[in-house]
Structure 1
Amino acid sequence: MKLSDYARQAGVSYKTAWRWWKAGVLTGYQLPSGTIVIDSQPEQTRPLNREVCQASDSTAARLAGFETKLEALQASLHQAAIERSHLLAELEAAKRDRAELLTLVQQLLRDLQSLNFPAPARWPSEVGMDYTHLEMLLADGKWREADEYTWLLLLAITQQETAGCLGLEDVAGFPQTDLQTIDRLWVDFSGGLFGLSIQLEIFASVEYAYPEFCDRVGWRVRQKWLYYDELNFSLNAPAGHLPVCVWRKRSCYGVGFVSAADSAIAFANRLLNN
C-alpha cells in the first residue's frame, strides 16, 4: 500500500504518516521512483497510544531542527565562499597594482639616472680636487697629519709635486675656490682657531710685518724661530698657528727660492683676491 493510501485510510495527513514511517512506526520500503510502500494495514499499524504519536512527532521535530541547522550552516558556508572569492579577487588586484607601481618606480629611477645630475660638492674645487681625506683628518683632530696633507694638496693643485715648493707665481695663480675651501675646512673644524683667513687677520693687524706675525701665531718664541717639529699641533696652540703654508723646515727660511715673508704676502694677496 502506498503511503498516501495508508494516510487516507488511517485518517491522518500524509505528512504525519511520513513522519511515522521515518520514525520506524510503520514498516515498508521505498521504491527507486521515491514512492513509499507500507506493509501494515492502517488498523494494524496505527499508533495505539498518545505516547507513541508524541514520540514520533518529537523525533520528526528534531529531524526538522537538524535540517534547519544544516540549511543555515550550508548558507553560512556559501556566504563564506563568496566572501573568500571577493578577498582573493582583491588580493589579485592588489598584486597587480603593486607590480605596476614597482614598474613605475623602476622607470622613474632609470629616468633620473639618465638625467645624470652632478652630485653636489660638499667642498667645492675648481680643479676637481677631493677634500674628503683632509676633512677626515681635521674631524679626527689629527692636526699635524692635516697640516702635512694640506701642503701636499697645495703642491698637487699647482702641479709642483716634483719641485716640492711653491713659487710666487704658483700662489698668485692658485684657484681661488680651492684656497677658500682649504681655509674653510681649517676654520670650521678648529672652531675658528686655525685657518688661512685667521692668519690674514693677524698679519694685517701687525701691518704685514712677518717677524711680529710669527710672534703672534707662535712661530717665533722669545726671538727664536721655531722648527716644524717644535710646533704645537693641538687646540692649545695660539690662533693662526696652523696651517703652515709659507715655510716647512723653519719659520724663518721659507721654501725653495721664496722667503717665508714673501710667501706670506703672496698668500695674503691671493686671499684678498688681488
Structure 2
Amino acid sequence: MVKNWALAIGINQYDFLQPLKYAKRDAKLIQEFFRNEAGFDRVFWFSDESPDLGSEPTRPYRANLLRLLQQLFAKPFMEAGDNFWFFFSGYGMVDANQDYLMPSDGDPEDIENTAISISDLTECLNRCGADNIVLILDACRRQHKNSGEGIGRHTQTIARQTGVISILSCSPDEYSYEIDALQKGVFTHALLEGLGTQGQCATVERLNQYLGFRVPQLAYHYQKARQTPHIIAEPIKSRLILAPKHATKHDISKLQIDAVQAEVSQNLELAEQLWIRVNAAASSSDIDAVKEIERIAQLRVEACATQKQLTPQIPSLNGSPLHENRKYALHSNLDGRSCNQSLGLGRIPTAKHQQKSTLARPDIAINDLNSERGIDYKPLHDLLAAGEWKQADRETLAVMLKIAGREKQGWLNIEAINQFPETDLYTIDQLWLKFSNGRFGFSVQKQIWESVGGQTDADYETWCKFCDRVGWRVNQNWLFYSDLSFDTDAPKGHFPAAATVNLLTVWRGWVVGLFSCLVGFSALALRLGKSH
C-alpha cells in the first residue's frame, strides 16, 4: 500500500522580518487537505500556533525544525512507490547564490547560520526512503523592492540534480502575492484547486498545466503583477500519479508505458516502482499490475543471482571469498549502480547491439510456409490470396497466440514476443508482403517505425507518430479494431493489426497494450534483417 506523508510549514510572525498575513493559514489549509481530502497517512504541521507533537514544540524556530528533520529522517521509513510532500509558506532568501528558507527566528543579516538551506533540506528529505519527494515552496517574498532576486534558481538546479519534484510559486524575479479577498496566497489558492475537485490534477504534468494558467489569471484578476509558478520534474516523474482518485485511464496508460519502457531499457527497479504506482492508482487492486510487480521482482532476484555467479570469488587471507572487492565485483564496476538498479531483461538487445547484430534471415520460399512449431499456414495463405484482410488479420493473431501458448490470455506479452520463433515470424511477414504487394507486413511496420525515430527506448510521442502513419490513430483519436480500413486502400503498414489494436478493447482500453506490443514487434522486426 502506497504511503503519503507530509510536512506543512507556514509562518506569519518573524523575529527579524515583517509579518505575513496568510502564510500560517496557507499551511493549515494544506495540512487539512492532505489529511482529510487526500487521506494522507501522516501530516506534520508547524506554524505560529500549531499544537505540540507530544512534548516536542512545533513553533517553526530553526532549532525545532532541525530537530524534527534530524529525528524523522535519521533512517529510511518509507519505501518504493511512497511519496513525501514538503510545503513551506513564508520568507525565502538568497545568500552567496544559495537558496534558504527563513524560520521564525531567521536573521537576514546572518542567513547562513540562522536559516535552512535548500541543499541541506533536500538531502535530508531524500533519506526518507520514498522514491518520490515533492517540494512545494511559496517563499518568493521580499520586504522591499530593493531586496534583490528571490529564491528559485539554486532550487531549480538542486531539483535537476537530485530528482526532487520542486513546485515554486513564482519566478525568482517575481513576487508571491497574498490576497485579502481570498484570505490566502494566490499560489496556495490555485494549488488547492488543482489538487482538489476543481482541477482534478492527478499528475505533476497536469498540475503544472493548471497552475501555469490559474496563478497568472488570479494575479491579473486581483490587479497584481504577473506571478508565474514553475515545476521542475524529470520527464518520467511528471507523469507520476500523485492524486489517484483523480487519475484517468489516460494518466494510467502513460504510467504503464513508462513501466514497459523501463523494463525494456533493463531498469527493473524503476519498472517495479512504476507498476506499484499503477496498482495504487486503480480503484481496487489491479491484478495485471500485481502480476507485473511479482514477475519483475522475481527477475531482479534472478538477475542478482546471475551476477553473483559471474563474480569471481577471490580467496582472502583467512580463506573466505572476497565478494565485495570492487576490482572483481562486476556489477560494481559497470556504472556504480547495484545489480538491482542496472539489470533487467537480457533478451532484449540495446539499440547499439541491434545495429551490430547480423542475425541470419531464414531463407524461406513463400510456398514453403515453414514453421518451427508445426503451424499450418495454409488458411492464412488462402485468406490473404483472396484479399480477405480482416479474416487474415484475425488468423494472424490466432496463429501467433497458438505459437506463444497464450490463446487463453488473448494477447502477447513481452516475454512471449521475445521468444517468438524467427522462422514463423518471417513466414507470416512474407505472406503479408506478397499478397499486399508490399503494403502490409511486420517489416513494413518496422520501416515506418524507424522512419519516425522508433527505437526500443522510444517515448509516447514517437508511438503516436507511428500510429498516425499506419492509420491506427486519426486526428489524435485512437481507433478501435472495428474502425480500421479492411481494404487495399488502407494506409501502408495498416496490417497486421489485430495483435495490437485489438488490445484497445481486450485490455481495458489502455493504450499501453499497444505500446508494449509495439516494443516487442519492433524487436521482432529487427530480427528479420535489414532488407527483404
2-side partners of 1:163 and 1:253: how far apart? 10
**Any conservation in 1 of the 2:480–2:501 contact (CA below 8 Å)?**
no
**Any conservation in 2 of the 1:197–1:271 contact (CA below 8 Å)?**
yes
Counterpart code for 1:271: A
Query: 2:403 maps to what in 1?
Result: 157
Of residues 476, 484, 487 in structure 2, which corresponds to 1:234? Answer: 487
**Any conservation in 1 of the 2:430–2:441 contact (CA below 8 Å)?**
yes
Show the 5 A alignment for 1:41-56.
none
Asked if 1:148 is matched to 2:394, the reply is yes
Asked if 1:205 is matched to 2:451, the reply is yes
Identify if the C-alpha distance between structure 1 residues 174 and 256 changes in structure 2 by more than 3 Å, giving closer, same or farther: farther
SS in 1 for 2:504: coil
Of residues 254, 263, 266 in structure 1, which corresponds to 2:517? Answer: 263
Identify if the C-alpha distance between structure 1 residues 121 and 144 changes in structure 2 by more than 3 Å, giving closer, same or farther: closer
1-side partners of 2:389 and 2:467: how far apart? 19
Q: CA RMSD in A?
A: 2.5
Percent identical among aligned pairs is 41
**Any conservation in 2 of the 1:247–1:254 contact (CA below 8 Å)?**
no
Asked if 1:246 is matched to 2:500, the reply is yes
1-side partners of 2:486 and 2:427: how far apart? 21
Counterpart code for 2:494: H
**Any conservation in 1 of the 2:470–2:491 contact (CA below 8 Å)?**
yes
Query: 1:52 maps to what in 2?
Result: none
The TM-score with structure 1 as length reference comes to: 0.53
Query: 1:81 maps to what in 2?
Result: none
Contiguous gaps of at least 5 residues in structure 2? 1-365, 455-461
Runs of 4+ with >6 A deviation? 251-257
Count of aligned residue pairs for this structure pair: 155
Identify if the C-alpha distance between structure 1 residues 260 and 186 changes in structure 2 by more than 3 Å, giving closer, same or farther: same
Identify if the C-alpha distance between structure 1 residues 189 and 254 changes in structure 2 by more than 3 Å, giving closer, same or farther: farther
Counterpart code for 1:218: G
| Bigger share in strand | 2
Deviation at 1:238, TM superposition (A): 0.5
Deviation at 1:173, TM superposition (A): 0.2
2-side partners of 1:183 and 1:249: how far apart? 20
Q: Deviations over 1:237-268 (max 9, x none)?
A: 01000111223153996999962112101111
Asked if 1:126 is matched to 2:380, the reply is no
Deviation at 1:162, TM superposition (A): 1.2
Identify if the C-alpha distance between structure 1 residues 148 and 255 changes in structure 2 by more than 3 Å, giving closer, same or farther: farther
SS in 2 for 1:259: helix
Counterpart code for 1:197: S
**Any conservation in 2 of the 1:167–1:257 contact (CA below 8 Å)?**
no
Deviation at 1:269, TM superposition (A): 0.8
